[in-house]
Structure 1
């Protein structure tokens, strides 16, 4: 449930920001299209980060780890 919420939040945020950009600058529909795509990318990144898939690199360790 959390992973789907992460993705949907990115898409909704991109859509809202795209609509605002189109409304303010009169660039219909390009702002909405571009920011929806960026919202999808951000949603995928958030899902990967939350699931641990895009975590730290295998060869990298913190100094605190022995």
Structure 2
């Protein structure tokens, strides 16, 4: 449930911000399209972050010597 909420929140936030940008600057439909796509990407990133798929890879300093 949390993962789907993270994705939907990103898309909705992008859509709302895009609509506001279009309404204020008169750039219909480009603000909505661009910010909706950015919201989609942010939603995917949030899903990957929450699920642990986008975790940090161990670097050279993170290895433990036997």
**TM-score, normalization by structure 2:** 0.88
4+ residue segments displaced more than 3 Å: none
Higher-helix-fraction structure: 2
Residues 7-53 of structure 1, C-alpha deviation per residue, up to 9 Å, x if partnerless? 00000000000000000000000000000000000000000000000
In our comparison, the structure showing a higher alpha carbon Rg is 2
Q: CA RMSD in A?
A: 1.7
Q: Distance in 2 between matches of 1:56 and 1:2?
A: 21
**TM-score, normalization by structure 1:** 0.88
State the aligned residue count. 63
Stretches of structure 1 that go unaligned for 5 or more consecutive residues are none
